[in-house]
Structure 1
Amino acid sequence: MTTPDHQSPASQPPASGTKDRVYRSPLALIGGVLLLLVIGWLGFDALFQGHGRTPWLALAALILIVPLVIAFTLRPAVFAGEDRLRVRNPFRVISLPWGAVASLRSGFSNEVVAKSGAKFQLWSIPVSLRARKKAEMRKARAAADAARGTDSTRRGFGGMRGAGAIGGMGSFSGAATAPSGPTRAEGDQVMDELRELLQSRGDTEPAQGEVTVRWAYEVIAPAVAGAVLLAILLALG
């Protein structure tokens, strides 16, 4: 599931100067905060209450684990602007002008495909097969209810012809109402919005350019340092 921090109708291109639409996974954010609380509690307890090498091992583990938890839970986000799509994944930030995007694909994961052939996964827009199944069930139920409503309407008109207006109106009370809830999974709805932005902005002049990829050294460096320190401490016994 994702939550857009800023939304406007996807069928209309954002006006100049508007904020990017930001898509994150609420479940990942909640899970990340809870993990950090547990890791912090255990780590600092070992750091300040431990004996011997325990504080050093706890410090190395914290330096290694905390950046990784942040990278995979709090960090991922997709920023959809009027000129480009910026994808912030755990270890990379990919900037794709709309003109350089070939397609947005949804399968077992959501991906953006550049015209160069490069593929980048959208970590903050996960695919939920369960949500897709529920949405398909709602869609099928809505179609069935609509069909039953049509049959009831036909029977109602037949009753009006044969038994008068009162009988005809009474027959409408059996018409089923459509089930509540979306008929598309939330992640698929987000991908539809991004596809509409691509279609509306892909050919504009400001949306042309090259794809750029930047490694997230602010995450990689401390994680590597923690791993090296932990390996040294374990090797020393």
Structure 2
Amino acid sequence: MKQVFRSRTALVLGWIWMAFAAFNAVDLIVRYSGPSSLVAAAVLGVLTALVFVACLRPAVILTEDGVLVRNPLRNASVPLAGVDEVVVSHAIKITSGGESVRCWTPQTSARERAAAVRRGTSANTGGRYKTEPTRSKGEQAAAEALAGRTHADWVAEQITERAEVAKRAAVRNAGRVTAEPAD
């Protein structure tokens, strides 16, 4: 099963820019006015290439075999059985065999982490009047399970779980003896 993780905000803004650039390219072709149109088209082309590289290209792709990290200018592939550690600070860092790969996306900010911590705290019950509705037991359990976790934390957890499964499968397959017919 293939999973692709990206920044939703960057993806949306990137596609909005692509629509804007396509509209302006058509307008430049229809209303061509010489060298000034060519300069505008060149600037539009360079900006569109930058938006593609920074917004639409970056992704973390989790496949059956490994993790493909597509950063703006470089791809890095890490086999799942070779993943040693996955750490999240502001970005996800995957360590494998002494080398590490820092993922461009998804990232987390201090503001997003603080909001995740607040999301897990229970509603204020002090005072005479309650200002927030009381959570059900299921909602409270979900809030506690997600307390302090951001999207980047969840992606790192998915990578770690799949890596552990791949390591267990490799150990299990290494213990098997295969019989080959003699010549």
Same fold, TM-score > 0.5, yes or no: yes
TM-superposed CA distance for 1:87, in Å, is 1.2
* Structure 1: gaps of 5 or more residues: 1-18, 149-174, 207-237
Give 1:122's aligned residue. Answer: 103
Name whichever of 122-131 and 190-199 sits farther off: 122-131
By percentage of residues, which structure has more helix? 1
Give 1:188's aligned residue. Answer: 153
* Structure 2: gaps of 5 or more residues: 127-133, 172-183
How do 1:1-237 residues align onto structure 2 when only pairs under 5 Å count? 19-117=1-99, 119-141=100-122, 177=136, 178=140, 181=143, 182-183=146-147, 184-202=149-167, 204-205=169-170
Percent of aligned positions with the same letter in both sequences? Answer: 25
Does structure 1 retain, via aligned residues, the 8 Å contact 2:14–2:55? yes
Q: TM-score scaled to structure 1, two decimals?
A: 0.56
CA-atom RMSD, angstroms?
Answer: 2.9
Deviations 1:125-159 (A, max 9, x none): 121433321221233327x88xx9xxxxxxxxxxx
Larger relative contact order (C-alpha < 8 A, sep ≥ 6)?
A: 1
TM-superposed CA distance for 1:107, in Å, is 0.6
Does structure 2 retain, via aligned residues, the 8 Å contact 1:104–1:110? yes
Find the residue that maps to 2:122 and give its secondary structure: helix
Deviations 1:174-212 (A, max 9, x none): x97538753222221121121111222135449xxxxxx
User: Structure 2: how far apart are the matches of 1:44 and 1:58?
Assistant: 12
Q: TM-score scaled to structure 2, two decimals?
A: 0.71
1:201 is aligned with what amino acid? A
